[in-house]
Structure 1
Amino acid sequence: MKHTKWKYLTLGAASAGAAVYSVKKASEKQVIKRQIKAEEEVKTRYYGDRQVYFIGGGLGSLAGAAYLIRDANFDGKHIHILEGMDILGGSNDGSGTMTDGFLCRGGRMLNEETYENFWDIFASIPSLEFPNQSVTEEILNFDHLHPTHAQARLVDADGNILAAHSLGFDNNDRLKMTKLLATPEEKLDGMRINDWFDEHFFETNFWYMWQTTFAFQKWSSLFELRRYMNRMILEFSRIDTLEGVTRTRYNQYESLILPIKAFLEKHQVNFETNATVDDIAFKDGKGITATKLFFKDGRELELAKDDVVMMTNACMTDSTTEGDWSTPAPKPEERPISGELWYKISKKKDNLGNPEPFFGHEDETNWQSFTVTCRGDRLLKKIEAFSGNIPGSGALMTLRDSNWLMSTVVAAQPHFKTQTLDTTIFWGYGLYPDKIGDYVKKPMKECTGEEILYEWVCQMHWQEEWDELKKDIVNVIPCYMPYIDAQFQPRAMVDRPQVVPEGSTNFAMISQFVEIPKDMVFTEEYSVRAARIAVYELFNIDKEICPVTPYNRDPKVLAKAAETMFR
């Protein structure tokens, strides 16, 4: 069972909402004194007609708008969120119908101990399901009632559940891992994981579990693996059960995006969908001052002197394509729209990073997911009987020897609010969609939903029941994501820009492609932390940004990690 590290302190300034802070280094009295002083100062501010424009409608932008309202006392009517798609949420998606089937492009894990700023902002967002609770309370209450303890984390080619508690390290693996954690980040520029570890490491239980939990590849950035190991060292000892995974009640779109959107709507924030920003003009000379936004439809927006722009400089789910039961997900036709904007502006000013290492390597950054919608629960009952986990308790089940390296997750049902009681869903993905299947002899990314599910059923050795099982299927939606691992690409330290670039007067970047010391990309926390940094720096907010909790310096945690390496 997970433990709750949070020691909540509610600050009672009604105008700023119920701000919640984790007390770590300073005493409670010092924190209270500082927060009260900061809130009193913010109350006196008058912003006039100052406007803030968020480019991109994902979690980072929504959290940034919420921080502006809560902590900067900024008028929501002057906040504008510009989204190129016809729906908000970015990579936090969840869609579909009972007729066409449901879709989750990805599986997003939350973590109670390490998502410091995520829990902070959602503690100020009212739940849509339980009006007297915050979203943070709703999620943690649900998760504590539905704890995770995977009993079938790894499955071999013969359909046997492996004893994954043993990580499988030899002394060389232990030496290399210890040396990596002790090596300064600046010495790891451009290095890949397989530049550091020998082949044995990639055959260990640890690698199969860590790889599929976080979607690493052998060629991913060694720098990012090091950050993950330091940041998620609590998960090292429980990687075989995934007890550290925190679950939302429904998919993340309905559990996270809709509540924060409702909060912002209440404060009259302006949302504009189908509004693609195609370019940004900056003031000539030194420094970074945005002066004009150019839209794909030909519109131009002149920025006033004090206006602020916060841009999502890339999105890992851009250019995704979807298929169905009888149709493969089509090949993407273009590079990510948000990445193209980053390319343009990076040529105009220094300190805006370098997108080249992240995009243009589709063969290294792609993987494919699939969402299965069923009538009844026959298939889920088979999974439950095999794994020993009821829906919502098992986390990832990885078919270790499958050519596509397939993993599946069965969430607590229902996973969608419109899902009826006689309908069940589960989600899966393959990390190697370019490889030929073991049973369906073609690449995963060329397969229909039916073929992907058949491959998985065969991997589970249930093919004799295929004709009966497929009668229950409403749809299987394949989702090909060409840049889903782009944030893990090998890079130099300077390739990701600072959240507020050096020399900026009114411009910030918030995404999985900015640089935040010590924190790890591909997480909800990273987007929220980036947004909070942007707001606090550009608006001179003298409040604490919850720091990265240094579990990697906790003697008890380190001792347990050292013991785990010898399991």
Structure 2
Amino acid sequence: MKQKKKIGKMLVLGAAAAATGIAAKKTYDYYKSKKGQKEETPQAENKKAYFIGGGLGSLAGAAYLIRDCSMPGNQITIYEGMHILGGSNDGIGTPEKGFVCRGGRMLNEETYENFWELFRTIPSLENPGRSVTDDILNFDHAHPTNAKARLIDKEGNILDVKSMGFTQKERLALFRLMNTPEEKLDDMTIEEWFADMPHFFTTNFWYMWQTTFAFQKWSSLFEFRRYMRRMILEFSRIDTLEGVTRTPYNQYDSVIRPLELYLRKQGVVFAENCVVKDIEFAQGEGITVKALHLKDYGIERTVELSDRDICIMTNACMTDSATLGDLHTPAPEPVLRPISGELWSKVAVKKQGLGNPYPFFGDVHETNWESFTVTSKGNKLLKMIERYSGNVPGSGALMTFKDSNWLLSIVVAAQPHFTNQPMDQTIFWGYGLYTSEEGNFVKKPMKDCTGEEMFIELLHHLHMEDKKDELLHDVVNVIPCMMPYVDAQFQPRKMADRPNVVPKGSTNFAMVSQFVEIPDDMVFTEEYSVRAARMAVYTLMGIKKKVCPVTPYFNDPKVLLKALKTSYR
């Protein structure tokens, strides 16, 4: 009992207030109540805005310029090096060749404050009079997550993961970390913090937390601490993933397409297949963008900015250099030259305060993992997985095979998962964190495997190998996707390695991505991109309206008490 009191005291140490602040569901009412109040609108008539990169951060930034700054859409240009928008929010494919999800972006109703607020003003594509937020939350409430097969052992047994599995020493170390100031954690890894506690990495908690968020032992202690504090609500339900909010379709169809259509209707200019090769800054101490040097469909040209214009850059992308295979071909070894990280490295040497990309893009052996997407005729396999797991498609979130050499997990979403998916096809995806390891059954490293070989390895872990031939007969395609930098944002770093959204001394330049610094928030989320975009636009445009704050659940005694009790389950 004394130990519990000690940990409880550590949890609330330094808490600024008992109140939780504005929760995400209350944020909607808060901003609705402010709607009638007058706010100064900056003069945007003679301004132009240039976004580098066509991911969620840039699209959200354009929406904020239109909605909150009254900037005409035709004065906003978004440059994207690929032929398609969305960045890491993807979902493409055809019924004939199969579909691809490089990954899944899980949402959270309680902690994605700016995401939900923005998408309440973006019209639904399928339901007139409703918003994208309405679509997602209505769908999620009708399809609640309650994973019944979160961890599975090598014998095929579904494990009871109610207990986190901590020793008392591990509890103390975990809660001590959550109350340690970040300035003491420069360049540290998770493994270093638990160096004398190897058992920690065999607990139910670690297997579930690691595979839910894609952490590794060598990941940044900064980020692990931020996740623990920001997602303290999820600590008590990590075994069921009840806090996961799912979109009706993949994130490209559910999030990017409606936002893109809204922006196109507003007249925003999209320049696809156009790479920004360099940024030219004005001479002197400040940070003022004067020109952008482009390669537009292979033709080099320059765009000059006036003193009134603004430039917002995606300084890096975690799905850079991703490669795709197919049923009979492994994903090719990537050309290790991240386009967005390359531009970041160019500008970082020109001005102080623009961060340092090298800790994030220096070691692909630590930052890669591989996903695979299975497209099948009929629903035979999905029905077998449903009977095995106890979850209908869309209700189970992750299933992790904890003894897999690849640390294999799969996600079976509600069907259909694509808007162009036929009713007689089913789709699911999975991923492995250890791509250089030899499979338990297919004796090859994951990175060298074809889609068929990954499928066979999965069937063995499901103990369905006796059905291999008939299940393979139904397969349209299994598409492996190697992503060399997908975990780059989790790499150990110094606080100064990530630039501020608006760097000190900037007059017209900002950066948005998973590689900028936002105190208290956590990377690898949709919210991070949207929050960064809102911060960038409001600061550069002089908007007085506040960005939705990070909801301080870590300061809520009720939430902390529940987390404490969970640690003893």
Q: Aligned letter for 2:123? A: P
Match of 1:288 in 2: 287
Match of 1:76 in 2: 73
> For 1:410, which of 390, 409, 412 is the aligned residue?
412
Q: Is the 8 A contact 2:237 2:243 kept in 1?
A: yes
**Partner SS for 1:7:** helix
Per-residue deviation, 1:389? 0.2
1:292-324: CA deviation from partner (whole Å, max 9, x where unpaired)? 101133211111111110000000000000000
Match of 1:50 in 2: 47
Matched, 1:93 2:90: yes
1:211-235: CA deviation from partner (whole Å, max 9, x where unpaired)? 0000000000011000000000000
Match of 2:369 in 1: 367
Per-residue deviation, 1:57? 0.2
**Partner SS for 1:114:** coil
**Partner SS for 1:450:** helix
Provide the rounded CA distance (Å) in 2 between the counterparts of 1:287 and 1:321. Answer: 39
**Partner SS for 2:274:** coil
1:479-505: CA deviation from partner (whole Å, max 9, x where unpaired)? 000000000000000000000000000
Per-residue deviation, 1:468? 1.2
Provide the rounded CA distance (Å) in 1 between the counterparts of 2:460 and 2:168. Answer: 36
Q: Aligned letter for 1:491? A: R
1:130-180: CA deviation from partner (whole Å, max 9, x where unpaired)? 011000011000100000000000000000000011110001110100110
Q: Is the 8 A contact 2:354 2:499 kept in 1?
A: yes
Matched, 1:36 2:37: yes
Match of 1:117 in 2: 114
Provide the rounded CA distance (Å) in 2 between the counterparts of 1:189 and 1:373. Answer: 43
**Partner SS for 1:108:** coil
Match of 2:484 in 1: 482
Provide the rounded CA distance (Å) in 1 between the counterparts of 2:424 and 2:348. Answer: 51
1:409-457: CA deviation from partner (whole Å, max 9, x where unpaired)? 0000000111111100001000001111111111101100000010111
**Partner SS for 2:383:** helix
Matched, 1:144 2:141: yes
Match of 1:14 in 2: none
Per-residue deviation, 1:189? 0.5
Matched, 1:516 2:535: no
Q: Aligned letter for 1:6? A: K
Q: Aligned letter for 1:231? A: R
Aligned-pair RMSD on alpha carbons? 1.3
Q: Aligned letter for 2:318? A: M
Provide the rounded CA distance (Å) in 2 between the counterparts of 1:436 and 1:446. Answer: 9
Provide the rounded CA distance (Å) in 2 between the counterparts of 1:47 and 1:83. Answer: 24
Provide the rounded CA distance (Å) in 2 between the counterparts of 1:257 and 1:466. Answer: 36
Per-residue deviation, 1:335? 1.6
**Partner SS for 2:60:** helix
Match of 1:441 in 2: 443
Structure 2 counterparts to residues 38-437 of structure 1, below 5 A: 38=39, 41-42=40-41, 45-197=42-194, 198-296=197-295, 297-437=299-439
Runs of 4+ in 1 over 6 A off after TM superposition: none
Match of 1:456 in 2: 458
Q: Is the 8 A contact 2:44 2:69 kept in 1?
A: no
Provide the rounded CA distance (Å) in 2 between the counterparts of 1:135 and 1:468. Answer: 39
Q: Aligned letter for 2:563? A: A
Q: Is the 8 A contact 1:291 1:304 kept in 2?
A: yes
Provide the rounded CA distance (Å) in 2 between the counterparts of 1:103 and 1:513. Answer: 25
Provide the rounded CA distance (Å) in 1 between the counterparts of 2:397 and 2:59. Answer: 28
Per-residue deviation, 1:47? 2.6
Provide the rounded CA distance (Å) in 2 between the counterparts of 1:394 and 1:134. Answer: 26
**Partner SS for 2:300:** coil
Per-residue deviation, 1:328? 0.2
Q: Aligned letter for 2:446? A: M
Q: Is the 8 A contact 2:45 2:72 kept in 1?
A: no
- The normalised TM-score by structure 2 is 0.94
Q: Is the 8 A contact 2:410 2:430 kept in 1?
A: yes
Provide the rounded CA distance (Å) in 1 between the counterparts of 2:257 and 2:508. Answer: 28
**Partner SS for 1:211:** helix
Aligned residues: 543
Match of 1:13 in 2: none
Q: Is the 8 A contact 2:28 2:117 kept in 1?
A: no
Per-residue deviation, 1:465? 1.3
Provide the rounded CA distance (Å) in 2 between the counterparts of 1:518 and 1:21. Answer: 22
1:318-366: CA deviation from partner (whole Å, max 9, x where unpaired)? 0000000000000111321000000000000000000010002100000
Q: Aligned letter for 2:330? A: P
Provide the rounded CA distance (Å) in 1 between the counterparts of 2:128 and 2:55. Answer: 24
Per-residue deviation, 1:48? 3.2
Per-residue deviation, 1:49? 2.9
Match of 2:9 in 1: none
Q: Is the 8 A contact 1:358 1:487 kept in 2?
A: yes
Q: Aligned letter for 2:176? A: K
Provide the rounded CA distance (Å) in 1 between the counterparts of 2:427 and 2:253. Answer: 16
Per-residue deviation, 1:5? 5.1
Q: Aligned letter for 1:550? A: P
Provide the rounded CA distance (Å) in 2 between the counterparts of 1:9 and 1:390. Answer: 31
Q: Is the 8 A contact 1:21 1:546 kept in 2?
A: no
Q: Is the 8 A contact 1:309 1:506 kept in 2?
A: yes
Q: Is the 8 A contact 2:27 2:113 kept in 1?
A: no
Q: Is the 8 A contact 2:150 2:158 kept in 1?
A: yes
Provide the rounded CA distance (Å) in 2 between the counterparts of 1:334 and 1:182. Answer: 38
Provide the rounded CA distance (Å) in 1 between the counterparts of 2:339 and 2:543. Answer: 32
> Structure 1 residues 314 and 5 mapped into 2: Cα distance closer, same or farther (>3 Å)?
closer
Q: Aligned letter for 1:67? A: Y
**Partner SS for 1:299:** strand
Provide the rounded CA distance (Å) in 1 between the counterparts of 2:79 and 2:430. Answer: 31
Provide the rounded CA distance (Å) in 2 between the counterparts of 1:37 and 1:381. Answer: 55
Provide the rounded CA distance (Å) in 2 between the counterparts of 1:49 and 1:457. Answer: 60
Matched, 1:507 2:509: yes
Provide the rounded CA distance (Å) in 2 between the counterparts of 1:127 and 1:392. Answer: 21
Matched, 1:21 2:31: yes
Gaps of 5+ in 2: 1-22
Match of 2:551 in 1: 549
Per-residue deviation, 1:36? 1.7
Per-residue deviation, 1:266? 1.2
Match of 1:15 in 2: none
Provide the rounded CA distance (Å) in 2 between the counterparts of 1:200 and 1:21. Answer: 46
Q: Is the 8 A contact 1:116 1:546 kept in 2?
A: yes
- The normalised TM-score by structure 1 is 0.94
**Partner SS for 1:64:** helix
Q: Aligned letter for 2:102? A: R
**Partner SS for 1:426:** strand
Provide the rounded CA distance (Å) in 2 between the counterparts of 1:47 and 1:407. Answer: 48
1:268-303: CA deviation from partner (whole Å, max 9, x where unpaired)? 000010000010010111010011101133211111
